[in-house]
Structure 1
Amino acid sequence: MNAVPGHFVGLDLGTSGVRAVALDAAGRPVTSLRRNWSDAERSGRDPGAWWDAVRGLLGQLGARLPAGPVAIAVDGTSGTLLAVDRDGQPLGPALLYHDARARAQAARLAALAPRESAAHGAASSAAKLLWLRDQGLPREAARVLHQAEWISGGLLGRYDRGDANNALKLGYDAAEDRWPDWWLAELGPVAGLLPRIVPAGTVVGRIDRAVARSTGLHPLSRIVAGTTDSIAGFLATGVDDLHTGITSLGSTLVLKQWSAQPVFDPDTGVYSHRVLGRWLAGGASNTGGAALAVHFTPAQIAELSLAIDPHQDSGLRYYPLPRPGERFPANDPGRIPELSPRPADDARFLHGLLEGIARIEAAGYAHLTRLGTAPVARIVTVGGGAANPQWTALRACVTGVPVRSAAQEEAAHGAALLARRAFLEG
């Protein structure tokens, strides 16, 4: 039971499908697989589709990998929640990460939860649990679990464990390592549905025998408590120091950074996860790729960028947003996009947009520093914007620190590293 697995598998359940990555003992990728959602599965609410995809990919891995035990960790979308019975069978469709129907329940949480709690907001899994309770949970409900926790439970053959990263939005107190008293009092008997929480990266047991038989995986394979998709993506970069910021340039602008202590700022949506015995802080602005997409296609951005001199100031002072409202580095729901004057030259207009996003990035890291993180000395970039060399050089000029693209950013890779860490670096 104590033997070190020969390979480490990460499973990433995303919005477009499931990815699987296998690493060898040295952390080198051995194989990767992907299963996209079909049109019928695209809503993402059917846990049965998640399980079928995972089992299918593990079966392919079982046929590809050398004989011997593996370790598996799962990441999933943060805040996606479902209720299950004692056998782990879902009692309805999942409530997805962006589901915000629980507005009335969020208002109640606003009056109960400490300001620094990640339970706030209609899309939090805490609000979703209150919504399920208020709708009348079925008598057979035995547990509420997040997406990654439910898949891990299926691999284990039991559904009693959750991980501290997914649990944060369910009201878990990461600083105290427990479910807080205010939350247990509010839930009453429903508190019995909460799983036992362990740190991400904890070995939680041996693979279920039936799963091992159906996938061809070794029966001594181990399951490791997983994490959220965004944290797995951060881990994939391999960044391990306090002075490196990770910027995700996707549809939004997301900043993450290791911190020596937890930092929280509910007003700007900054909170901290405990990961591998340390703290990971972050915040997200509404600017980013979605703000660019209002004006240009990806092909146009690539072409116009070639005409930009990143070392020259555009002379424009934009605050690019796809629509009114900002949350980080300053919380301003009424903030309108600042995009004038617009020059006739599209390349100069794009230059101003990219500069504006870079200034928001710099302000975001400055805000994290004010809250208690170390000043960034370098930035590693993930997401679609990382492939734009002019934007990268421009961001280095604006932030005043070197900027480079991450060698690896796939969440499944990060989950595999988490599984490896449990045995080789823990």
Structure 2
Amino acid sequence: MRIYFIGIDIGTQGARVILVDQRGISIASASRSFVLDNRAREEQSPAVWWNACVELLDEILNGLAADFDKSAIQAVSVTSTSGTVIPLDVYNQPLHHAIMYSDGRSAEQGKRIQKTALRHVKDGYTGFNASSGISKMLWFMENYPQQRDGIALWVHASDYIVGKLSSVYNTTDYTNALKSGYDVADLKWPTYIIDELGLKKEWLQIVVPSGTVVGQLQEDLAIRWGLKEIEVVVGMTDGCASQVASGAVKPGDWNTTIGTTLVIKGVTRNQVIDPLGRLYSHRHPEGYWMPGGASNTGADWITIDFSSDILQWNQAAEKLIPTGKIAWPLLQEGERYPLSAPQARAIVPEQISKSELYAANLEGVACIERLAYESIEELSGEKIAAVYTAGGGSNSEVWLKIRAAVLNVPIYKCKAASGALGAAIMAASKTYYSSVTEAASYMTAIEKAIFPEIKLRAKYEAQYQQFKEKLKALNYL
């Protein structure tokens, strides 16, 4: 018997909804772009999000075949941006537009909160800045004091959609609560949030593990879509949902997504404390930790300089590797992860052809990726067992080969690693399966496995050590 789950992803530019079965096989999907104004990076209307969700669910659920068994649709969950928050009144209506994660107006509040947190939090997250939910809460209180008495609850973007589905707004999950100041180690809201920042205790949500059922689909919505009152599962941040969708959910599993930048997320048994603040840890639904960090290095250099005929460049690189050249395609000034070096600049070898530079840059990104994993192993005391990969950079066969040899671990290319799929997996994780680990094992798929080639491993080991020595000589490492 097939059981089905709905995943909803509310992004900055639009919304996506998918319907999948218990094996992660897609039954239907639909997406909508938001009509946004020039302030959309600062504020967006939650009503626009919800209207898009309703339209997409109408399209999918009312468009199913007449013989489709809608009673087998069991649960729904939501993912959205981390750090986006909304003040609600006593009727769960927004007092203000959603204040977006990308809104920089709360930078000054973020600095103050970080200083306060550092005095109170010994081994936990203190990296608050303009993109943090708690910074936006304080900014709103200080800039709209007349609205303060009307606030009944602060919620995150995915919580709002969960609330519209279930009428339950007062519950969030570990991943959303982190940047709102929740202590995911002690599992409580720190007292400094109330005593020193001035937030009220009743404004803060109940925090539960991702995958927790918080309510049932509202009766009017169930009637609208011809469903039973399916279970509504607490949401999750988009980055964590994409990690879940990649299949990297067990201790030792890691995910590298190479898009414009390189983002690394994984699972450890112990909390990873980075004194340099390069990475931070979410709390895994099963009590593990989900550390991660984002580099300024990625695949943006390909888009700018090599996008004309990517197949040609990859074919040329296949014949040139290993190049023995030390390169680092850092387009902007400074690197934040895996090394904190605001003075860092790109490394471009002298007297090199464009084809060689392309191949050497692929190797350079792989070296940055390995450096990141080395730092994670040092900080956690745990070994990297496998790397799951997604993003546009994972589509290059030669790059996959280079990365597997440089990292010296298997690389698994994900078939689909969308936030919406991650939300669907969370919907299934405690309603049909026993855990997110079990759900991901059945609902994710590996498109291909790439193992380190013996003939490349030794050469890349030497090249990687030269790469590190170069960074040390430049005082970057």
User: TM-score normalized by structure 2?
Assistant: 0.83
The one-letter amino acid of 1:187's match is: L
Separation (CA, whole Å) in 2 of partners of 1:375 and 1:49:
44
Is the counterpart of residue 36 in structure 1 residue 33 in structure 2? yes
Separation (CA, whole Å) in 2 of partners of 1:61 and 1:47:
21
Cα distance, 1:51 vs. partner? Answer: 0.5
Q: 1:217 to 1:263 in 2, by over 3 A?
A: farther
Contact 1:258 1:373 in 2 (8 A): no
Instruction: Give the corresponding residue for 1:142.
Output: 152
Separation (CA, whole Å) in 2 of partners of 1:211 and 1:187:
39
**Among candidates 302, 312, 316, match of residue 325 of structure 2:** 316
The one-letter amino acid of 2:156's match is: H
SS in 2 for 1:212: helix
Separation (CA, whole Å) in 2 of partners of 1:399 and 1:31:
37
Within a 5 Å distance, the mapping from 1:279-290 to structure 2 comes to 279-290=289-300
Give the structure with higher Rg (CA): 2
Q: 1:5 to 1:40 in 2, by over 3 A?
A: farther
Separation (CA, whole Å) in 2 of partners of 1:178 and 1:330:
31
Separation (CA, whole Å) in 2 of partners of 1:82 and 1:39:
18
Within a 5 Å distance, the mapping from 1:289-304 to structure 2 comes to 289-297=299-307, 299-304=308-313
User: Is the deviation greater in 331-340 or in 360-369?
Assistant: 331-340
Is the counterpart of residue 333 in structure 1 residue 342 in structure 2? yes
Separation (CA, whole Å) in 2 of partners of 1:131 and 1:315:
51
Instruction: Give the corresponding residue for 1:84.
Output: 88
Cα distance, 1:265 vs. partner? Answer: 1.5
SS in 1 for 2:305: coil
Contact 1:118 1:168 in 2 (8 A): no
Q: 1 or 2 for the larger relative contact order (CA 8 Å, sep ≥6)? A: 1
The one-letter amino acid of 1:153's match is: G
Cα distance, 1:371 vs. partner? Answer: 0.9
Cα distance, 1:39 vs. partner? Answer: 5.3
**Among candidates 374, 392, 417, match of residue 409 of structure 1:** 417
Instruction: Give the corresponding residue for 1:423.
Output: 431
Unaligned runs of 5+ in 1: none
SS in 2 for 1:381: strand
**Among candidates 175, 180, 192, match of residue 170 of structure 1:** 180
Q: 1:310 to 1:172 in 2, by over 3 A?
A: farther
Instruction: Give the corresponding residue for 1:245.
Output: 254
**Among candidates 264, 269, 281, match of residue 278 of structure 2:** 269
1:259-300 Cα offsets, whole Å, 9 max, x none, are: 011112252431111122122111111100224334332x43
Is the counterpart of residue 380 in structure 1 residue 352 in structure 2? no
SS in 1 for 2:235: strand
1:199-240 Cα offsets, whole Å, 9 max, x none, are: 1100001112233334x1424211001101111111112234
Contact 2:171 2:207 in 1 (8 A): yes
Separation (CA, whole Å) in 2 of partners of 1:407 and 1:36:
24
Instruction: Give the corresponding residue for 2:103.
Output: 99
Separation (CA, whole Å) in 1 of partners of 2:243 and 2:7:
14
Instruction: Give the corresponding residue for 1:73.
Output: 77
User: Is the deviation greater in 352-361 or in 373-382?
Assistant: 373-382
Separation (CA, whole Å) in 1 of partners of 2:86 and 2:127:
16
* Superposition misfits of 4+ residues, deviation over 6 angstroms: none
Q: 1:310 to 1:389 in 2, by over 3 A?
A: farther
Separation (CA, whole Å) in 1 of partners of 2:244 and 2:39:
27
Separation (CA, whole Å) in 1 of partners of 2:204 and 2:234:
16
1:128-171 Cα offsets, whole Å, 9 max, x none, are: 11111111341322111111011111111232111111110100
Is the counterpart of residue 47 in structure 1 residue 36 in structure 2? no
1:83-129 Cα offsets, whole Å, 9 max, x none, are: 12122222222221222221211121121113631551221111111
Instruction: Give the corresponding residue for 1:126.
Output: 134
The one-letter amino acid of 2:302's match is: L
User: TM-score normalized by structure 1?
Assistant: 0.92
Contact 1:59 1:217 in 2 (8 A): no
**Among candidates 4, 15, 20, match of residue 17 of structure 2:** 20
Instruction: Give the corresponding residue for 2:4.
Output: 7
Separation (CA, whole Å) in 1 of partners of 2:270 and 2:385:
18
The one-letter amino acid of 1:290's match is: D
SS in 1 for 2:323: coil
Contact 2:184 2:282 in 1 (8 A): yes
Contact 1:70 1:218 in 2 (8 A): no
Instruction: Give the corresponding residue for 2:115.
Output: 111
Contact 1:392 1:404 in 2 (8 A): no
Separation (CA, whole Å) in 2 of partners of 1:120 and 1:342:
44
Contact 1:166 1:227 in 2 (8 A): yes
SS in 2 for 1:117: coil
The one-letter amino acid of 1:117's match is: Y
Separation (CA, whole Å) in 1 of partners of 2:309 and 2:88:
47
Unaligned runs of 5+ in 2: 435-477
User: Is the deviation greater in 319-328 or in 239-248?
Assistant: 239-248
Cα distance, 1:404 vs. partner? Answer: 3.0
Contact 2:278 2:339 in 1 (8 A): no
SS in 2 for 1:273: strand
Separation (CA, whole Å) in 1 of partners of 2:253 and 2:320:
23
Separation (CA, whole Å) in 2 of partners of 1:378 and 1:310:
27
Contact 2:77 2:426 in 1 (8 A): yes
Separation (CA, whole Å) in 2 of partners of 1:355 and 1:5:
44
Contact 2:248 2:266 in 1 (8 A): no
